[in-house]
């Protein structure tokens, strides 16, 4: 699906733009063109070459999903790869997994082209805001439109972070209250998701930082502060991701220690039981021998004597263990 917007000062926002109008808008420095390609067909993807003549390497990154945030300078435009976040339910594992959605952005002086294979909440929010206030988002240059996209993209990280904050609190509460059988799997899944979160946020934070430091005609100096604000948000989010990682590592360490202590308790109890039953086993095995000449073999009190002897030795061992404070 392709969505196009064309804004010219003094005119209303145009939402249906032909190819000819796109070519004309690119040459018109007083207009701003935004083309959003969402899961485009092969025919729609040809816009990248036929209309804008983007570099083949950048187009290849769009088609194949580059997967890592980055920024490339192609002189006439910047190519950015950023990521959105969403939670997806895995019915087989019965767990919520973190998924990243790649967003490719071609950023020129008077145009912006966004390319993504999966619907992104951010783009719907920006389009909704654009239809309400076109002058605010597209009336001051392509850099503010880019900022609006990046700012909402980063803001939409917060609900995901809130989910993990609540999940970690829940995991900490359940740690000593009879953890469920899938407790370890849940912790490991959360740890893997937080690792992926850090892997995406760290280079994306550096990308925004580089964007605020480069000297380019695409971003005016008066608008640099807006991108610095996005960097500040990402810096704080990365700090939260680090704290989540440390919390989950601590939970795993405590869980393994707790499991080890429980196992030690079980082994200790089983050792005590084996030690207390050992006299009975020894005495029963002795009287079970098939020798003709054995003392007490035909004694009428032999059976109660062997039982009493077994209980007496076991009782003595139990008292001795308690005196030694082994149990």
Query: Which CATH number is 288's domain given?
Result: 1.20.58.340
Domain match, 120 and 33 both? yes
pLDDT at 226: 81
Domain match, 78 and 210 both? yes
Which residues are registered as beta bridge partners of 106? 79, 113
Instruction: Answer yes or no: are the C-beta atoms of 211 and 219 closer than 8 Å.
Output: yes
Listing DSSP states for 201-267 in one string gives HHHHHHHHHHHHHS--TTS-GGGHHHHHHHHHHHHHHHHHHHHHHHHHHHHHHHHHHHHHHHHHHHH
Highest mean pLDDT among 20-34, 69-83, 132-146, 250-264 belongs to 69-83
pLDDT at 94: 62
Question: What is the arithmetic mean of pLDDT over 57-84?
Answer: 80
pLDDT range class, residue 89, cuts 50, 70, 90:
low
- What's the CA gap between 140 and 9, in Å, rounded? 9
Work out how many domains the chain is built from and give that number: 2
pLDDT per residue as tens digits for the range 191-212: 888 888 888 888 888 888 888 7
pLDDT at 38: 82
pLDDT per residue as tens digits for the range 152-194: 888 888 888 888 888 888 877 777 776 667 777 778 878 888 8
SS3 77: coil
pLDDT at 93: 61
pLDDT at 236: 87
| Residue 96 in this model has a pLDDT that exceeds 80 | no
pLDDT range class, residue 271, cuts 50, 70, 90:
confident
| Residue 12 in this model has a pLDDT that exceeds 80 | no
pLDDT at 238: 85
Closest CA to 103 of 54, 70, 131: 70
Question: What is the arithmetic mean of pLDDT over 58-66?
Answer: 77
Domain containing 308 equals 265-323
Domain boundary among 231, 259, 287: 259
Instruction: Answer yes or no: are the C-beta atoms of 192 and 244 closer than 8 Å.
Output: no
pLDDT at 137: 67
Q: Please give the DSSP secondary-structure letter assigned to residue 14.
A: B
pTM of the predicted structure, to 2 decimals: 0.73
> How many Cα neighbours within 13 Å face the side chain of 312?
7
pLDDT at 158: 85
Question: What is the arithmetic mean of pLDDT over 292-321?
Answer: 77
Domain boundary among 240, 259, 278: 259
Domain match, 133 and 191 both? yes
The CATH number of residue 158's host domain is 3.30.460.20
């Amino acid at each position: 699906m392709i969505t196009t917007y064309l804004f010219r000062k003094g005119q209303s926002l145009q939402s249906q733009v032909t190819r000819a109008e796109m070519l004309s808008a690119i040459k018109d420095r007083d207009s701003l063109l935004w083309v959003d390609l969402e899961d485009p067909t092969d025919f729609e993807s040809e816009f990248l070459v036929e209309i804008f003549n983007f570099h083949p390497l950048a187009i290849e990154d769009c088609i194949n999903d580059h997967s890592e945030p980055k920024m490339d300078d192609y002189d006439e435009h910047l190519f950015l790869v950023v990521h959105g976040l969403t939670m997806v339910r895995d019915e087989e594992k019965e767990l919520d997994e973190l998924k990243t959605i790649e967003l490719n952005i071609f950023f020129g002086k008077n145009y912006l082209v966004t390319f993504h294979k999966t619907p992104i909440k951010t783009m719907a929010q920006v389009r909704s805001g654009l239809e309400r206030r076109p002058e605010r988002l597209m009336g001051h240059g392509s850099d503010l439109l880019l900022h609006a996209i990046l700012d909402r993209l980063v803001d939409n990280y917060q609900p995901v972070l809130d989910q993990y904050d609540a999940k970690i609190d829940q995991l900490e509460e359940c740690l000593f209250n009879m953890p469920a059988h899938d407790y370890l799997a849940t912790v490991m899944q959360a740890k893997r998701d937080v690792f992926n979160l850090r892997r995406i946020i760290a280079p994306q934070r550096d990308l925004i930082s580089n964007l605020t430091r480069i000297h380019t005609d695409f971003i005016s100096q008066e608008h640099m502060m807006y991108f610095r604000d996005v960097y500040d948000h990402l810096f704080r989010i990365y700090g939260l991701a680090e704290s989540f990682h440390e919390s989950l590592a601590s939970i795993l360490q405590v869980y393994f220690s707790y499991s080890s202590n429980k196992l030690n308790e079980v082994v200790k109890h089983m050792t005590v039981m084996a030690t207390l039953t050992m006299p009975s086993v020894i005495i029963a095995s002795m009287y079970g021998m098939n020798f003709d000449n054995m003392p007490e073999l035909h004694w009428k009190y032999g059976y109660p004597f062997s039982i009493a002897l077994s209980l007496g030795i076991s009782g003595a061992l139990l008292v001795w263990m308690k005196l030694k404070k082994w149990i």
